[in-house]
Amino acid sequence: MHDDVMRDLAAGLGSGSLVADPEVIASYARDMASFSEAGEAAVVVVPRTVEEVQHVMRTATAHRVPVVPQGARTGLSGGANAVDGAIVISLAGMDRILEIDPVDRIAVVEPGVVNAVLSRAVAERGLYYPPDPSSWEQCTIGGNIGTGAGGLCCVKYGVTAEYVLGLDVVLADGRLLSTGRRTAKGVAGYDLTRLFVGSEGTLGIVVKAVLALRPAPPRQLVLAAEFGSAAAACAAVCSIMESGHVPSLLELMDGTTVRAVNAMARMGLPESTEALLLAGFDSADPAADLAALGALCEAAGATEVVPAQDQAESELLLQARRLSLTALEKVSTATMIDDVCVPRGRLGDMIDGVAEIARKYELTIGVCAHAGDGNTHPVVCFDADDPDLTRRARDSFDEIMALGLALGGTITGEHGVGVLKKEWLARELGPTGIELQRGVKAVFDPLGLLNPGKLF
């Protein structure tokens, strides 16, 4: 990077905000999608104020330098990966909860606030922020907004997009845009707030968010049901949803995932099961709801149904699900993690299809899923040092995505596109869809400086 760019950047930044050490810069190169390409950034900026973010973008525009926004880099699609010569702007330092309003049931936060920190802060006021990605102890609200993140509770409470009421966004040229509202209702103009949610930092940089909150629900109880096949477990899911139940979570682990969790954590899960379904209720009478749901599972062919008796047992059951991705990562030296979402009625076809793909390529592929949403997470395990295994892993990944589209699904339910799924986004949207999306980006970022090379 030219000295004049560094000089101009430094002129508007506070002490310690500009990072030029090559080793430190290298640590900001990528998110957790290990098989997504990443470039070499020229500098990292860690702003503390909105004005510093605006200064970075004005400088980048003046010198035509690309900018890659980052949060905690817990993403799984390469959406936060650096590009050559870029300014990486880490929003992790803007981590203040600015306001919690129990009357309007909103929180106003900076983008670097960690999801779990916000959840605990609002819980102290008797409130609840539902979106809870698996990485909630590390991931930031800004990153959640950028990817349109989900979580375990989505089956009842919905995803991040449904809780973002308004945003302050620094645009590519440094202007500050306010979108949305802090009121319960509001339909003034186009919904630009929703446009920014899931845009992966390609349209602007979120510097403040107004988030909707809910009253804190009762503590949930969880049930575990074992099945001899994924098809039977998925039939139970369909029966549960069709009968009108509203579980607070409905999660599935296939046999491969169950055995991986046992191998890592010695949790004593049933090794013979081919699918473990976890269901929770945070209703007024969760025990009664679990009993009714357990009966539906037994009717669908569950070999055993175990309801938790208290919150401690519930947390123990959920711990197995939360360990799923970590456990599968320990099966081999590398993983490729998918997040194909299909209609609930095709969930069984998706899981059986992934098993067939695993057999075809002679690979270990475990599947855990937000079953209530049809959102599957196939995890392809392989040895990254073996070129043939790596090729087979990539081919299997592509076949899994193709399967999801063939079943009427989408290539990503909550992880985003990043660089990992650019080709598949084009297949899903088609030429007209991509043309219009490129046109939207051109309105907000005519020079193409914001997170270039992502999405399309």
Domain with CATH 3.30.465.10 in the chain: 94-215
pLDDT of residue 360: 98
Selection from 53, 44, 56, 76 nearest residue 143 by Cα: 76
pLDDT of residue 123: 97
pLDDT of residue 250: 97
Selection from 175, 322, 174, 334 nearest residue 261 by Cα: 322
pLDDT of residue 267: 85
Three-state SS for 194? helix
pLDDT of residue 281: 97
104 DSSP assignment: T
| CATH architecture entry for 3-92 | 2-Layer Sandwich (3.30)
**Residue 148: which region, alpha, beta or left (left: phi > 0; alpha: psi -120 to 50)?**
left
Angle among Cα 198, 204, 209 to the nearest 5 degrees reads: 70
pLDDT of residue 272: 87
CA distance 291 to 315: 18
Q: Is the dihedral of CA 366, 368, 374, 376 positive or negative?
A: negative
pLDDT of residue 1: 67
Domain with CATH 3.30.43.10 in the chain: 3-92
CATH code, residues 221-406: 3.40.462.40
Domain with CATH 3.40.462.40 in the chain: 221-406
For residue 88, what are the β-bridge partners?
44, 68
CA distance 430 to 411: 13
pLDDT of residue 268: 85
pLDDT of residue 270: 84
- Could you read off the pLDDT tens digit of each residue along the chain, which spans 456 residues? 678 999 999 999 999 899 999 999 999 999 999 788 999 999 999 999 999 999 999 999 999 999 999 999 999 999 999 999 999 999 999 999 999 999 999 999 999 999 999 999 999 999 999 999 989 999 999 999 999 999 889 999 999 999 999 999 999 999 999 999 999 999 999 999 999 999 999 999 999 999 999 999 999 999 999 999 999 999 999 999 999 999 999 999 999 999 999 999 988 888 889 999 999 999 999 999 999 999 999 999 999 999 999 999 999 889 989 899 899 999 998 999 989 999 999 999 999 999 999 999 999 999 999 999 999 999 999 999 999 999 999 999 999 999 999 999 999 999 999 999 999 999 999 999 999 999 999 999 999 999 999 999
Distant-in-sequence, close-in-space partners of 171: CB < 8 Å, separation ≥ 6:
57, 177, 204, 444, 445
pLDDT of residue 137: 94
pTM: 0.95
Q: Does domain 94-215 have CATH number 3.30.465.10?
A: yes
Q: Do the beta carbons of residue 85 and residue 102 sit within 8 Å?
A: no
